[in-house]
Amino acid sequence: MITSLAWKNIWRNRTRSSVILGAIALGLFCGVYINSFMTGWMYTTVDDDINNHLSHIQIHDTAFSANNDISAYFPREKVEAAVGESGLVTAASYRLSLTAMLASANNAVGITAKAVFPEDEKAVSTIWQNIADTMGAYLPDDARTAIVISKKTADKLKVKLKSKIVLTFQDTNGDMQSLALRVSGIYKTANGMKDEATVYVRYSDVFPVTGLPENVFHEAALRTADLETCRQADARLKTLLPDMDVKDWGENEPALEMSLAMTEFFGVIILAIFLFALSFGIINTMLMAVLERTRELGMLGAIGMSKRRIFNMIMLETALLTFVGSLVGIIIGTALIVPSLSSGIDLTPFMGDQFEDYGFGSIIYPVLNVKMFVQIIALVIIAGILSAIYPARKALKLKPLEAMRN
């Protein structure tokens, strides 16, 4: 009956309770939405980077990681054996990675040229899917000396599809090698910074002039089923290849991994700030409710309701107010997020593609996950309890006789 009384007490002053419930609901709605949006933004960025540029795991010779030396290669069989033994890798692409200069008639830029086997590459990277229909194709078999460059690079070099450009790099002997290549495709991903830095060429076009022995590579890009498997595969490969530089996506891009962790952390902080601010409103509302009912609380003590029960009743009223408001906010927030989970939220109309210059996508896919809801519910419980203590203590201090004289 005390629960029922607590619930009815909340609605004694409908306007006041509705206002604070609305404020809690709005706060939680904003918290859920911002949290989901920010986390989704980072997850989208991470997914895009993994799919287009990083893959799940990359393996290099340790010397190559240190100075990108063309002679710091590894034999394919060695890595292939370890990859096969791990049993956790779904696709692998072996690449030569050359620090090079790319020049057109108008301009020259420094880039990294990835010499790849196109079909293997398509299994680990979605760059080929980021070539628009009118922007050519990904290193087609019928094209001679093809190169795929990014839209940003094309703009800098002022070249178009089928334009001729020259790739210059140093071979293993230290001699400069130049290859004349035709732009076969122009891609554009959400990460403009990485787009600018990378071009793709066929292994068969580049290998003959590198001076490298056959079947050696600078980079193995690996895909696993998901991020959890990625962690397992990374640990396994580190054990199997102790003398090589095995890195998962987070190790390759620590800033990205840290941004993801920070975003999740700040999401919780933002929510905590919302709830902290709201708790003052809750305390004020409940304090008014206690002070208005001083006489009645005194009467309850007089007829035999213990102080513990009065304390619990006020705690329960505050908790119910907080939880109902939070529940409404979470439901509204979730309901508004669900439709954009698959379609995403396109920020291009508001921000153009300026985020892409900093490595972030313009279409955000919000994320709703159990961890977020657990964090929210934990924060709500903490805020509810903390807000309840002060008004309940006020009620606890009342003496029945003095309170009834109020």
Residues that bind other proteins (CB under 8 A): 1-2, 4-5, 8-9, 11-12, 295-296, 299-307, 309, 400-401, 404
CB closer to other proteins, 209 vs 305: 305
CB closer to other proteins, 1 vs 176: 1
Q: How far is CA 4 from CA 16, 214, 265, 322, in A?
A: 19, 80, 38, 16
CB closer to other proteins, 127 vs 289: 289
CB of 50 to other proteins, least distance (A): 57
CB of 389 to other proteins, least distance (A): 20
Pairing assessment for the beta strands 108-116 and 89-103 based on DSSP bridges: antiparallel
CB closer to other proteins, 38 vs 310: 310
CB of 13 to other proteins, least distance (A): 11
CB of 390 to other proteins, least distance (A): 22
Residue 110, judged by CB atoms within 10 A of its CB (0-12, 13-18, 19+), counts as: exposed
CB of 400 to other proteins, least distance (A): 6
CB of 11 to other proteins, least distance (A): 8
CB of 316 to other proteins, least distance (A): 14
CA–CA separation, 246 and 109 (whole Å): 29
CB closer to other proteins, 160 vs 397: 397
CA–CA separation, 246 and 65 (whole Å): 10
Count the neighbouring beta carbons within 10 Å of the beta carbon of residue 401: 10
CB closer to other proteins, 378 vs 401: 401
CB of 309 to other proteins, least distance (A): 7
CB closer to other proteins, 95 vs 293: 293
CB of 29 to other proteins, least distance (A): 29
Bridge partners, 387 (sequence order): none
CA–CA separation, 397 and 384 (whole Å): 21
CB of 15 to other proteins, least distance (A): 16
Backbone angles phi, psi at 94, to 5 degrees: -105, 130
CB closer to other proteins, 12 vs 160: 12
Cα–chain center distance at 263: 8
Structure tokens at 187: 């891609």
CB closer to other proteins, 270 vs 299: 299
CB closer to other proteins, 8 vs 144: 8
